[in-house]
Chains A and B, each alone.
Chain A
Amino acid sequence: MAAHQPAKAKPRRAAWAPGYVFITPTTVLLTLFYLYPLVRTIIYSFTNWNPAGFRAPHGVGFTNYINLFHDDTFLMAFRTTLIFVVIVVPVAMASGLLLAALMRTPLRGRTALRTLIFLPFIAPTVGSALIFTYLATPFGGLFNIPVRLFGHAAIPFLTTAPWSLVAVIIFSIWTQVGYTMIIYSSAMSVIPTSYYEAATMDGANSFRQFFYLTVPLVNPTTAFLSVTGTLTALQAFTQIQILTRGGPTGQSTTLLYWVYQQGFVTFNGGAATAGAVVLLVIGLIVATVQLRFFGRREPVDLQ
């Protein structure tokens, strides 16, 4: 037995090598470009780091965090983010759920309709946001047609509060609905048709089938989408940069956009990193709470 062991250990150690070789590229790259900057972000948030400066940062304790909560622009960004997430995520999910339910059973032209509805999600955001800048302009933009029909002067939506935030919200919903629809469709496709047949036999109409059959059965998907949707909404950047640049006077600046401006426009590295840490913590809390909330309900396993 004792003589047998080293003989066995040797080929084993050699057998470990491929495993390490296979994971090295991913591990090194993720460590260098994600985990290391993450650690640096946390460290910098306790210093007066200046991304454009030449002086070495030195520690300032919790000053950056304390300043955040006395900074009106940060507090406003916090409020804006809350409004943005609370509207965009549920509306995009509910619309996607409804559209997926309407497409559940075969319908002539279903594929074409699905293709069109998914289009805004796949189109490059910079381009589609530029289309919205034209739609929202007072100079011939279609959004101003109803305004003019009622006899008002054209509104420059993207530079007027509260319309700038409304425009960013509508744009974000418009790009996300296709995604939530596709994910819900995929969840509904594994629900056995016999469930619906049985419900029909029992006299349940389409509305009842939707609320008492479809909605509970796609609950795990709802949990998934609410978490990923919230995280996506917290990271909204491109549409804000193209549509409004956070304006006017910070009215459509979300937390991430605020962090970007601190880091890249005003070079206030301490505030930017502290803001980033706050945003990261919010994301983690939201994800945990949502998973708890949805996890508590009876999980439905169809497989």
Chain B
Amino acid sequence: MSDMTISLSSRHGRRASTAAGTTARYIVLCLAAIIAAFPFLWMLLSSFKSSGELMLYPPTFLPREWEFSNFTQVFEQAPFGRFYANSLFVAVCATAGQVITSLAAGYAFARLDFPGKNIVFGVLLAALLVPFELVFAPLVDLLSALHWLNTYQGLIVPNIGSILGTFLFRQFFRNMSTEIEEAAQLDGAGIWRRFWSIVVPMAGPMIGAFSILSFVYNWNNYFFQLVVVTKSQLFTVQLGLATFRTVDSASSFNLLMAASTLAIIPVVIVYLLLQKQIINAISGQLR
């Protein structure tokens, strides 16, 4: 009898503590979500306020008057359409290049046999430890000698080789079964046919995940774009956006926020649409 009351009360106690625990979890998580997301909401609201309203103390939450003219002014000052076209072109080309070259190299390092394979792979792994940011000065020197500064090829080609991609595809093919490929080989399918009709389709999920990683990286690759491009015709979204940050931006925070909105909102929309794939691709780096 007394046993039963004890177990009942402890179960009741546990349920109460679980409810309190859930509330505590919600408080912390909601606080984190607000800290993470509020600046973006604030940017969006601010992009519709007048420059005078932005300096008010205490600040207003919703715009008193919705100033759509901030956006037309931004477009007058900077060709954002052009910036988007440049960013899209550069990121798509670099991503396609990274996926194709990494897929081929990763497959070869994992499955094909040839002398010197491990030495080459080992040397290339050194590139993983060398962030481009550290060797930018001689790299810019090299691109200048090639007359590639201020060109699309200069923005794209140096980013195509990817040791991370090669490494990820190599891991992928090492863990994948070789049976189907061997069966096709017995049926007389040559290496090229096997690669295109069996290997590439089987690597589909990995190609998708790596494309996302690669695209995000290339889209946000500000430092590289900054040192390679000085002409505004070649400005990407990041470079064009950074020109709004002047020493004295105090008077034009409305334009600054409108420009930031133009740069961030499309990315946020794509992220919300593909969030599951994007998060899986980024957390999948580990496996």
Chain A residues near B (Cβ < 8 Å): 15-16, 18-20, 22-23, 25-30, 32-38, 40-41, 44, 51, 95, 98-99, 102-103, 107, 112-120, 122-128, 130-135, 137, 139-140, 142, 145, 148, 174, 177-179, 182-183, 185-187, 205-206, 221, 224, 231, 235, 237-238, 241-242, 256, 259-260, 263-264, 269, 272-273, 276, 279-280, 283-284, 287
Contacts and interface: CB of A to CB of B under 8 A. Distances in A.
B105 A25 contact: yes
Given A23-B109, A120-B36, A131 B260 contact: yes
A37 B135 contact: yes
Interface residues of B, number: 98
Interface stretch (B1-9, B56-64, B68-76): B56-64
A128 B39 CA distance: 8
A102 B22 CA distance: 9
B36 A119 contact: yes
B180 interface: no
B105 A26 contact: yes
Nearest to B37: A116
A145 B58 contact: yes
7 contacts: A102-B29, A124-B241, A127-B260, A140-B57, A183-B282, A242-B242, A260-B223
Contact of A231 (B131, B139, B257): B131
B191 interface: yes
B40 to A, nearest CB: 7
Contact of B238 (A32, A126, A179, A183): A126
A96 to B, nearest CB: 10
Contacts, number: 278
A212 B265 CA distance: 42
B202 interface: no
Contacts of B223: 237-238, 241, 260
A128 B271 CA distance: 15
B257 to A, nearest CB: 6
A280 B134 contact: yes
Nearest to B55: A140
A15 B113 contact: yes
A231 to B, nearest CB: 7
A187 B283 CA distance: 9
Contacts of A15: 113
B28 A99 contact: yes
A183 B282 CA distance: 8
Contact of B191 (A18, A28, A32, A134): A18
B279 A118 contact: yes
Contact of B250 (A25, A137, A148): A137
A139 B58 CA distance: 11
Kindly name the residue among A127, A183, A187 whose own CB sees the greatest number of chain B CB atoms within 10 A. A127
